[in-house]
Structure 1
């Protein structure tokens, strides 16, 4: 007679999209849309007024888009991409935020990251901290990435 615990599956770790992860991804998606829209309008209408600031807004938009996608995809590769984009984002917010406060003439027009994201209620400053915390709490298992990535590939092939 076999014990029920012998056949019971191991409890699954919650994925990155569970609970607060969904909110985090939603905020990243909204910020990606806002930064994309802002940078598009800035570049189309007034690029010659502040090319560096507007190019940085476009770069921020791309970073937010890639981070949003990476946070939603399974596997070790996407996990690493999420880390890379969020660290890049945090570094950008700190560098551009500090430069825009210390020498406002460097950025005659605001970027997404100017003043540590003050034009976006400081969400660009807080979001990567939350993202890094979330990623640290939801590392992919050592055995999971290969099976998740191969499942994602086979699912895309069918």
Structure 2
């Protein structure tokens, strides 16, 4: 398996037909890749009605899904033919994002070891307010 190279997709949706990302969750979220390097990735996702709770605020489970997906994508880029599986996710829901808003999901690599990868991330609303923070641990397996 070749390492994922997402740099050419900056400014494009990760669900683009030519994108190497073929995850149905990513396709459903439809994140726009803003920027990526070896240790940081930033995406923008529009909060749709089906992502919200009854009072039209981004649902906590969707916050966890966004963080898990984007952190996992970054963990799987730049590797040496490995795939990473999430072993744990922790999310703190702090602020609000409303239906129709675009949120920024920012992923950071904390540490890549031999078999474990530690990631952290945050979600910010259009005003820059903190919506959620999260961290995940992933287990690397050879493909």
With structure 1 as the length reference, what TM-score do the two structures score? Answer: 0.31
Larger radius of gyration: 1
With structure 2 as the length reference, what TM-score do the two structures score? Answer: 0.33
Larger helix proportion, structure 1 or 2? 1
